Structure 1
Amino acid sequence: MVVQVELPTNSTADQTDQLLNELSTYLLEEEGDVVDSVFAVNGFSFAGRGQNSGLAFVQLKPWEERKRSVFDLQASAMQRFSEVKAGTALAFAPPAIQELGNATGFNLFLQDYRGEGHEQLMQVRGQFLAEASKHPALTLVRPNGKPDEPQYQVIIDDEKARALGVTLAEVNRTMSTAWGSSYVNDFIDRGRVKRVYVQGIPQARITPEDFNKWYVRNKNGQMVSFASFATGKWVYGSPKLERYNGVPAIEILGEPAPGYSSGDAMRAVEEIAAKLPSGVSLAWTGLSYEERLSGSQAPALYALSIVAVFLCLAALYESWSIPFSVLLVVPLGVIGTVAATLMRGLENDAFFQIGLLTTVGLCAKNAILIVEFAKDLHEKGGRTLVQAAIEASRLRLRPIIMTSLAFTMGVIPLAISSGASSGSKHAIGTGVIGGMVTATFLAIFFIPLFYVVVSSLFTKKARNTSATTAEEPSA
């Protein structure tokens, strides 16, 4: 787990260290049954750099030594962090896929694609956060960036600077060297190459009035006082320039509330973004972008899977009716998978989709066991469609029950597992169990019905086609 700390802008590094030590002590002592160690650093966070920022990386104990998950620890830690008055502390789990974001949940950017300005973008951000805090599907919605802070703005009079022969490039170079540093060259020190940097002495770069102590060389080589062409004032501004897709943007992080999936949270965010003023757009990034992209492709992939199964069955049995009879049973298993997932409060994620595709295959397997026997009894045994369907159901009832029960018992450990990767196991196991229950006990009654109905329709169509063909020569 990761803990991110942000103190007010004028806070010192000692105050940040004090808060980090306080939180580390709490995690090690009061959450010692889960936490193994805490590594805290000062001076930066995922929001940016600064002496008022800090991060703590919380190492959890192995699964066999603890009973609570990282999400349980996060919930209890956030309850404790809400009492912190010195600053803001957030606890969150790392993303499911590393390098795709910094935290679990959703990740987005609010883009100012019309160039309305930083102040307008900050107002829109405040409106967005206010609406998100009221939505029941969202929690821990926060900006991932440093707040505006006091800055000293240097105003250069271009006309005076040109009259004095001072170029803007020389002004920038002098300021960056005096108040920052500039790389000059290298030198050899005891066999190692080291760099030489030039910067102003501390006494000449402490207060804004120190700008008047500096001089800039003009085109004629003369030294011109900084105060002769520049003034300054205090303003509020962003500590960093943040852009996304080439336009000014602000990053927003958040998580779905308990009982809601990431898809529910993303739809809620899009509803809120639709109410924002024109000129500001929403752009997903990280795992959220991949989820939105894969979500739009899921229906096409499901359809392609069913078409592939249909064509394989049609080629195997050299019939169009049997594939239809088999695939009509698939919704029965899908209903069970969806119902079991919803009853347990799980999400519609990639693991749910894996379980759903597994259920589709198992439903088709059960249907094939009955339809194949019914087809042989009807074509080779001289039975009617109804008699063949009933007899096939009676003969194949035990194999269907045995195979379905064996498979269901095999995935029960997934549904009740704990420890590492238990979330994915719960999603697959729960979905498959729910699908197998409905596919087994409902399909026993519906497979014969679907076979009789579909075969009757195809038989009538074949008879009508044969009759029409026979009448054409006589005509």
Structure 2
Amino acid sequence: MFSKFFIERPRFAVVIAIIMALAGLVSVFTMPIGMYPEIAPPEIRVSTVYVGASAETVAKNVGIPLEKNINGIENMLYMSSSSYNSGAYQLSIAFETGTDPDLDQVKVQNRVQQALSSLPSEVQTYGVTVERRSSDILAFLQVTSPKGTYDSNYLNNYVENNIKIALSRAYGVGEVNIMGSATSMRVWIDADKVAALNIPVTAIKAAITSQNVQPSLGSIGSAPGDGKQVLVYSLETQGRLNDPKDFENIIVRTAEEGGLVRLKDIARVELGSEDYLMDSMVNGQPAVSIMINKSSGANSLNAMKAVRAELAKLERFYPEDLEVKIFKDTTEFISASIEEVFFTLFLTFLLVVLVCYVFLQDWRATLVPSIAIPVSILATFAMMKALGFNLNILTLFGLVLAIGLVVDDAIVVVERTLALMQAEKLNAKEAAIKAMSQVSSAVVATTLVLLAIFVPIAFMGGITGKIYQQFAITIAFAVGFSAVNALTLSPALSATFLRPFEQKETGFLGWFNRFIQGATNKYLVAVGYIGRKISVIVFMLLILFALNAFFIKITPTSFLPDEDQGIIMVNVQLPEGASNVRTKAVNDKILEAIKDHPAIESVMTMEGFSIMAGQGENVGFAVISLKNWAERKGADMYSTNVLRNLMA
């Protein structure tokens, strides 16, 4: 008999259990943590800029060549592109769930290289970026100058050249988006003057391009020479211009009489933004907003810790009156949810152990299922790690349910062993061997029945199947390890620990025994009566089926449950052609509608950008950060109530 081997060698069974538990302990501290399983299909983004081109020109000369080459790539689900009047172009390619995003990126990069020669020279000079994209937002940051020392141009430039670079290399950060524009030298041409002087814009552009270069002047004293030079001097020039005054002195035209037309004579030169499409504010005050996205497969909590650590390093380098704050940390909800589930898992374990003790009424007998539960659960963590699962609400919820399932097998073994010890006066070892000969087939059969319920769920297709796959497989492995423990560890522990004992006749346990016996007697009488009334059973079943159908019909349905995550994101999209002024007016109305709500901590508004609609003067975005859950008591403080005020 299989179990007899372990009963006679309890140390071997214990060693197997220890190995299973240690593997689980190592796995649980190294697994990624997230709210839900990775259900979003891997996405690769291709982006570039065709400076000065309209959206139509960008779509025709940049979009079509790229999309023709990328279309039909292996495992591609769909692709969508956006072209903007600023000259920007973005193409998002979604791949089948489960594919390797690194390999997908390489495939897209190869197709882009094939199309590169078909793109305009300006685009080739700017370059085409291919990067992995994740829709999971880690945090929103705000950069401000509280005393107004720095304008938005300075803040944008500082963030672009310092903060973005540092955050991009932090662990788990996939993308850092700045809701603003980089600093650029702006040349505002006086149309009347250039018309009077008959100077075309192309001539101005050519003058700026030819005089704003980094020439290579060579060196003095390098070979070949006269053989007497002992030192070599490299020649350097000022290089590219970086001051408005230098640009103002660029010569646009020279006359035969010696007259010069400089850029300052026909234009105004200033250091401004590359474009004025985007603008952001926090609580109505100017600010630079930063959105940080998580890389695919990264641990959300560890990634946010890395971001905080990087910001702490940067803080000592900030100029005076420059402040960087975390506007909203989205991992706070994940952390709180995971902590709640872990607490529930621990509480469930304690309740199961308590119930086992109340019914078994012997600490030795209770010890066997109490050991079997954590061993089965920890071994399940090891398999979750091996299969690439992450710790999320669904997998942990599966483990909570599994605790009630994994304890059954151990209880069956212990209860049967105790019954044989009392009825046949056998010692623990003999009783365990005989008990396993009687219940082993029942344990295996029960496990197979449970596996037959949960394993098919793992083969469901689509995003729904991806969500519940981890839930089902987690329970299946927990039940499987429970059966293994019931056939190896539980009989070995029963043969080692169990001793004969008498059930309590007094106190709480004595009262409990009498109550259970009375309830059992009444139950047997009821079953005997109903068993003789088949029509009653059929009638009750019909009523239950009817009630089930009724409640299924009236119960609301949703893809995922609505939860108060402490943040509300609002997308603003006006008709095509709407100006930035109209978009800002809508954002101002949003701020006005909710600014006095007691549940709101702060509001970030953006014009010219939306995570749903991309870029454009007719789109905007608002992020509403709610106070901590501990500060929001009562139904009127929930996020749904804030939304109701916003929609009113």
TM-score bin, normalised by smaller chain: 0.5 to 0.7
Distance in 1 between residues matched to 2:349 and 2:363, nearest whole Å: 14
Per-residue deviation, 1:110: 2.6
Distance in 2 between residues matched to 1:320 and 1:112, nearest whole Å: 60
Aligned residue among 440, 444, 447 for 2:490? 447
Amino acid at match of 2:289: I
Q: Which runs of 5+ in 1 are unaligned?
A: 44-49, 94-102, 154-231, 463-475
- Relative distance call for 1:351 and 1:68 in structure 2 (3 A) is closer
- Relative distance call for 1:297 and 1:254 in structure 2 (3 A) is same
- Relative distance call for 1:429 and 1:342 in structure 2 (3 A) is same
Matches within 5 A, 1:145-224: 145-150=179-184
Per-residue deviation, 1:408: 3.6
Per-residue deviation, 1:109: 2.0
Aligned residue among 38, 42, 45 for 2:83? 42
> Contact 2:372/2:485 (CA < 8 Å) preserved in 1?
no
Q: Deviations over 1:281-327 (max 9, x none)?
A: 445555x4532332333322222222333344445556666554323
Per-residue deviation, 1:442: 3.4
1:277 aligns with 2:315: yes
Per-residue deviation, 1:14: 4.3
1:254 aligns with 2:254: no
Matches within 5 A, 1:97-108: 103-108=134-139
Q: Deviations over 1:247-286 (max 9, x none)?
A: 845323333356x444454444344344331653445555
Amino acid at match of 1:333: S
Amino acid at match of 1:398: S
Distance in 1 between residues matched to 2:459 and 2:98, nearest whole Å: 15
Amino acid at match of 2:405: L
- Relative distance call for 1:264 and 1:396 in structure 2 (3 A) is farther
Matches within 5 A, 1:370-385: 370-385=413-428
Amino acid at match of 1:234: E
3-state SS of the aligned residue for 1:346? coil
- Relative distance call for 1:370 and 1:397 in structure 2 (3 A) is same
> Contact 2:443/2:483 (CA < 8 Å) preserved in 1?
yes
3-state SS of the aligned residue for 1:51? coil
- Relative distance call for 1:305 and 1:252 in structure 2 (3 A) is same
Q: Deviations over 1:2-39 (max 9, x none)?
A: 857452765543453232333332343x3387446x55
- Relative distance call for 1:19 and 1:91 in structure 2 (3 A) is farther
Which residue matches 2:441?
Answer: 398
Amino acid at match of 2:109: Q
Per-residue deviation, 1:397: 1.6
Amino acid at match of 1:141: E
Amino acid at match of 2:324: V
Bigger RCO of structures 1 and 2 (CA < 8 A, at least 6 apart): 2
> Contact 1:414/1:426 (CA < 8 Å) preserved in 2?
yes
Which residue matches 2:55?
Answer: 13
Which residue matches 1:236?
Answer: 272
Which residue matches 1:203?
Answer: none
Please, what TM-score do these two structures have when normalized by structure 1? Answer: 0.59
Judge which range, 307-316 or 359-368, deviates more: 307-316
Aligned residue among 157, 165, 190 for 1:130? 165
**How many residues get paired?**
359
Which residue matches 2:109?
Answer: 79
Distance in 2 between residues matched to 1:333 and 1:294, nearest whole Å: 23
- Relative distance call for 1:283 and 1:324 in structure 2 (3 A) is farther
Q: Deviations over 1:333-391 (max 9, x none)?
A: 12321111222222222332233334323321211211222233344443444444443
> Contact 1:341/1:431 (CA < 8 Å) preserved in 2?
yes
> Contact 2:156/2:180 (CA < 8 Å) preserved in 1?
no
Distance in 2 between residues matched to 1:292 and 1:90, nearest whole Å: 32
Amino acid at match of 1:138: G
Which residue matches 2:177?
Answer: 143
Which residue matches 2:346?
Answer: 303
3-state SS of the aligned residue for 2:419? helix
3-state SS of the aligned residue for 2:293? strand
Distance in 2 between residues matched to 1:289 and 1:11, nearest whole Å: 43
- Relative distance call for 1:383 and 1:315 in structure 2 (3 A) is same
- Relative distance call for 1:380 and 1:424 in structure 2 (3 A) is same
Distance in 2 between residues matched to 1:244 and 1:396, nearest whole Å: 67
- Relative distance call for 1:376 and 1:348 in structure 2 (3 A) is same
Q: Which runs of 5+ in 2 are unaligned?
A: 1-42, 117-123, 188-267, 317-322, 505-648
Amino acid at match of 1:143: N
Distance in 1 between residues matched to 2:326 and 2:498, nearest whole Å: 52
Distance in 2 between residues matched to 1:150 and 1:280, nearest whole Å: 23
> Contact 1:313/1:323 (CA < 8 Å) preserved in 2?
yes
Per-residue deviation, 1:55: 5.2
- Relative distance call for 1:342 and 1:380 in structure 2 (3 A) is same
Distance in 2 between residues matched to 1:343 and 1:442, nearest whole Å: 20
Distance in 1 between residues matched to 2:354 and 2:282, nearest whole Å: 45
1:367 aligns with 2:410: yes
> Contact 1:273/1:281 (CA < 8 Å) preserved in 2?
no
3-state SS of the aligned residue for 1:374? helix
Distance in 2 between residues matched to 1:292 and 1:426, nearest whole Å: 22
Q: CA RMSD in A?
A: 4.5
- Relative distance call for 1:16 and 1:115 in structure 2 (3 A) is farther
Per-residue deviation, 1:329: 0.9
